[in-house]
Structure 1
Amino acid sequence: MVDSTQRIRVGIGGWTFEPWRDNFFPAGLPHTQELHFASRAVTAIEVNGTYYSTQSPKSFARWRDETPDDFVFSLKANRFATNRRVLAEAGDSIQRFVESGLSELGQKLGPLVWQFAPTKQFDPVDFGAFLELLPKAVDGLALRHVLDVRHASFMVPAYLALARRYGCATVFADSDKFPSFADVTGDFVYARLMQSQPDCATGYEAETLARWADVARDWARGATPAGAPLVEPAHDSGAARDVFVYFINGAKERAPAAAQALIARLRTG
């Protein structure tokens, strides 16, 4: 049996951030080696650059070659696919993103994150039409989709049912800015921990990181963590799940230390 902690990946958002050159990267490390270093300190990275601009197949191939065999990239889908009034019309934008060469990542390709504006409200017909457009694979590589919905109107059973129908996970946000609900809608869990504090060297205090380690283990073994905020009663399958935990937002300068501290807790129990 595989230990549930082996299904948990912990990471940060991106690898280019000026303050990290003072508290994460070794002094004098060339900027071109920052991905190489970061990918050996954490086990996953969420790429924000794909949200703003189209990357080339060569870029994806370079990321693949610079990182360890068991590393994973989550990619934010291009904003033109999600920042639109009528989501049902996003087909061309979705296709351009999916066919931009991301399959070059191979088995290092993690979930694709579809981030919606905080003003985007839940319209079951239009949202269902959008989910219908999401491809299941590209170039023979299976795709996993996670929905980052940021309006309270999504906190209803109808949304959960729709996401489950299409096999899409939903971002859980540890945030006081965005809706925070931990209902599982896919076969993996995707969490963003967004409340790192600047006056704490590891972003979160030790006891809080210990609690998040327990939460991640519960998710990985197919259970609902005690006290998790839910829209409806838990759907515990008991089946092992992959779990992605990212330290993003909050005091971003603390994200690498927070991720490394959580990884250490997961490894030591």
Structure 2
Amino acid sequence: MARAWVGMSGWTYAPWRGVFYPKGLRQADELDYASHHVSSIEINGSFYSLQKPSSWISWREGTPSDFLFAVKAPRFITHIKRLNGIEEPIANFYASGVLALGPKLGPILWQLPPNLVYDPEVIEAFLALLPHTTSQAVQVAKGRGVERMKDREHLGTDADRPVRHAIEVRDYSFDDQRFADQLQAHGVAMVLGDSAGRWPMLDWVTADFAYARLHGDKELYTSGYDEAGLDTWEEWTRDHLDHDRDVYVYFDNDQKVRSPFDAMSLLERLRR
């Protein structure tokens, strides 16, 4: 049975303290608090640097049994290497401990930079590198840089599970049927990004699940979603569920502490 997973992009934000998080709550307890109010969270620290195995294990053990994490892949791969020469960086990512999330590992999010234009050959080579099971990911991880990952690697999985991938683009050149066909051939989801018109909003079905990132419908990273806005995303989510597709929705409008409250509001609607 298909399920909707709804939450925020990240959980460690100073403005949330005393607004979403109760005054006096220890920072170490914020993930526990947040994970009891939403069903999933995007880990975005992994975008900025490789995390330690101990962190992945801590996140797994510090959340409810039915919780899921989406994981934002490293910007070193997407923004610095720009999807070229990335075999070892991808291996390092999978060796860093992401598989230690076990059954709480949700989709891997690949966010491309706004100045990266569509190149069919580059995209095809990148998609071909992505593992689609945890066992495949372990094999990929074995290609890590041994010295780079020395004393900070986790090579293994507790079970063979599917690994889902979603890609968010930020250049209009990706609005191309060839790109949609490539995603569908590899079973990779197209992220539907709501960015107040800043970046493409491509509502394509290219995988057996759907993924949306809501950055704000009127002001990027800032504006909250009113009742009409939540109506739209409830309808979108229910439509995918009706077609037996799991749905992942993450609010990234955190600057005015809207994302946790919008996520909870959408979850409440979906539970009715």
Tell me the distance in 1 between the aligned counterparts of 2:83 and 2:28: 37
Which of 14, 18, 39 in structure 2 is aligned with 1:18? 14
Matching of residue 157 in structure 1 with residue 177 in structure 2:
yes
| Aligned equivalent of 2:164, options 138, 141, 144 | 144
Residue 250 of structure 2 corresponds to 246
* Change in 2 beyond 3 A, CA 1:249/1:208: closer
The 8 Å contact of residues 214 and 252 in structure 2, kept in 1 or not, is answered as yes
CA contact (8 A) 1:195 1:251 kept: no
1:1-269 equivalent positions in 2, closer than 5 A: 2=1, 7-84=3-80, 87-137=83-133, 138=137, 139=157, 140-175=160-195, 176-195=197-216, 203-222=224-243, 240-249=244-253, 251-268=255-272
Shift of 1:149: 1.2
1:194 offset after TM fit, Å? 1.5
Count of aligned pairs between the two proteins: 245
TM-score of the superposition, structure 2-length normalised?
Answer: 0.85
The 1-side partners of 2:80 and 2:130 are apart by 16
Cα shift at 1:95: 0.8
Shift in CA distance, 197/260, structure 1 to aligned 2, threshold 3 Å = farther
User: Residues 121-152 of structure 1: CA distance to partner in whole angstroms, max 9, x if unpaired?
Assistant: 11001110111111123333421111111110
CA distance in 2, matches of 1:85, 1:96: 14
**C-alpha deviation, 1:98, in angstroms:** 1.3
CA distance in 2 between counterparts of 1:10 and 1:86 reads 29
For 1:78 and 1:18, the matched residues in 2 are separated by: 23
C-alpha displacement at 1:221, in angstroms?
1.7
Distance 1:252 1:122, change over 3 A: farther
| CA 1:196–1:150: 2 relative to 1, 3 Å | closer
Question: Residue 24 and residue 85 in structure 1: after superposition, are their counterparts in 2 closer, same or farther (change >3 A)?
Answer: closer
CA distance in 1, matches of 2:10, 2:254: 15
Render the CA deviation track for 1:223-259: whole Å, top value 9, x for unaligned. xxxxxxxxxxxxxxxxx11100111136451111100
Q: Percent identity?
A: 42
What is the alpha-carbon distance in structure 2 between the residues aligned to residue 251 and residue 203 of structure 1?
Answer: 10
TM-score by length of 1: 0.86
Distance change >3 Å, CA 197–CA 261, structure 1 → 2: farther
Contact 1:196 1:249 in 2 (8 A): no
Moved over 4 A (4+): none
Native 8 Å contact 2:224 2:253 kept in 1: no
Unaligned runs of 5+ in 2: 138-156
Q: Which runs of 5+ in 1 are unaligned?
A: 223-239
What whole-Å deviation, never above 9, does each CA across 1:13-61 have from its counterpart, x for those lacking one? 1110011112101110011000000000111101110011111111111
Check the 8 A contact 2:18/2:24 in 1, yes or no: no
RMSD: 1.9
